[in-house]
Amino acid sequence: MKEIKLVIFDMDGLLLDTERLSNIAWIEAGKNMGIDITYDILRRIKGGNIKNAESVLMSFLDEEKCEKLFREKKRIQVRVVEEEGIRLKKGVLELLTFLKEKEIKTAVATSTGKELATKELQDTGIYKYFDGFVFGDEVKNGKPNPEIFLAACKKFDVAPENAVILEDSVLGLKAAVSGGIKCIVVEDTVQLTEEENRLPYRKYESLLEVRDFFKKVI
């Protein structure tokens, strides 16, 4: 493995336990509108930006119903977040602390927009651990296009082969592979298929296991 100079983190479902809350909101919003939001639909949405979600939903909904569903999902998710709060995923602080000690640069590359992502990272106390950010509203193409990850590499003047991406979503994994960057997957609400399991550089149950892996190679 080439020298690791940059570790790029996805946010939702990888650092923050937000994908679970998002799923609750999508399913409840669908029920309220008589729309069956299936696992397959959620799987195709996860990890992508708003344009990707719109594309998925517009494949079986008209524009008006799609817009109403987005509004209802947003309303419900605000309530769910207020009720449950946002928790860190297992091993987040341990991994970030280790990378800081080793002076490895860290970045967040998330499909979420800057305003919301910044708030959630600050509210959970981990914003200060990162050296840089690339947000979903700062790139033209969302995952599975690799633009957001390549932008992170460019920001730190690090070649893709010297970076590692940590992801939980299929779209994020495919974006990493497309960009020629090694990807470690920690599954969250979506499980990889047998074919998709051939794509990650490594796959672990939690970020604690990722830290233990890095201890061996950094």
pLDDT, one tens digit per residue, over 54-70 is: 999 999 999 999 999 99
Residues 117 and 12 in one domain: yes
| Residue 211 belongs to domain spanning | 6-17+87-217
Report yes or no on 147 lying in a domain: yes
Quote the mean pLDDT of the chain. 96
Q: What is the CA radius of gyration of the chain?
A: 17
Q: What is the pLDDT of residues 72-129, one digit of tens each?
A: 999 999 999 999 999 999 999 999 999 999 999 999 999 999 999 999 999 999 999 9
More confident residue, 46 or 209: 209
Tokens of residue 201, six digits:
């550089």
Three-class DSSP category at 134:
strand
Backbone angles phi, psi at 76, to 5 degrees: -70, -40
Q: Is the pLDDT of residue 52 over 90?
A: no
In a domain, 1, yes or no: no
pLDDT above 80: residue 1 = no
Q: How many domains does the chain have?
A: 2
pTM attached to this predicted model:
0.92
pLDDT band at 49 (very low <50, low <70, confident <90, very high): confident
User: Percent of the chain, pLDDT > 90?
Assistant: 94
- Nearest Cα neighbor of 167 from 21, 41, 47 is 47
**132 and 55 inside one domain:** no
Q: For residue 137, what pLDDT is reported?
A: 94
Q: Looking at the predicted structure, is the pLDDT value of residue 161 above 90?
A: yes
Residues 110, 29 share a domain: no
In a domain, 36, yes or no: yes
**Which pLDDT belongs to residue 164?**
98
- Residues 56 and 120 reside in one and the same domain: no
- Looking at the predicted structure, is the pLDDT value of residue 47 above 90? no
Residue 2: what pLDDT?
83
Residues 197 and 110 in one domain: yes
Same domain, 155 and 96: yes
Query: Where are the alpha helices (H) located in the chain, listed in sequence order?
Result: 19-32, 39-45, 50-57, 63-84, 92-101, 114-123, 147-155, 170-178, 207-217
Would residue 209 count as lying in a domain? yes
Residues 132 and 66 in one domain: no
Same domain for 93 and 49: no
Question: Structure tokens of 136?
Answer: 């979903």
pLDDT of the residue at 51? 87
Residues 73 and 115 in one domain: no
* Residue at a domain's end among 49, 84, 119: 84
Using CA atoms in the order 203, 88, 44, 138, what is the torsion angle rounded to 10 degrees?
Answer: -110
Classified as helix, coil or strand, 111 is coil
**Among all residues, which ones are annotated catalytic?**
10
Domain contains 113: yes
Report CA-CA distances (Å) from 118 to 158, 187, 190.
23, 23, 24
Residues 9-32: what's their mean pLDDT? 96
The answer on pLDDT for 154 being more than 90 is: yes
Q: Select from 34, 68, 84 the last residue of a domain.
A: 84
Residue 158 belongs to some domain of the structure: yes
Same domain, 11 and 116: yes
Query: Domain check: are 73 and 112 in the same one?
Result: no
183 lies in some domain? yes
- Residues 145, 176, single domain; the answer is yes
Phi, psi at residue 129, to the nearest 5°? -80, -15
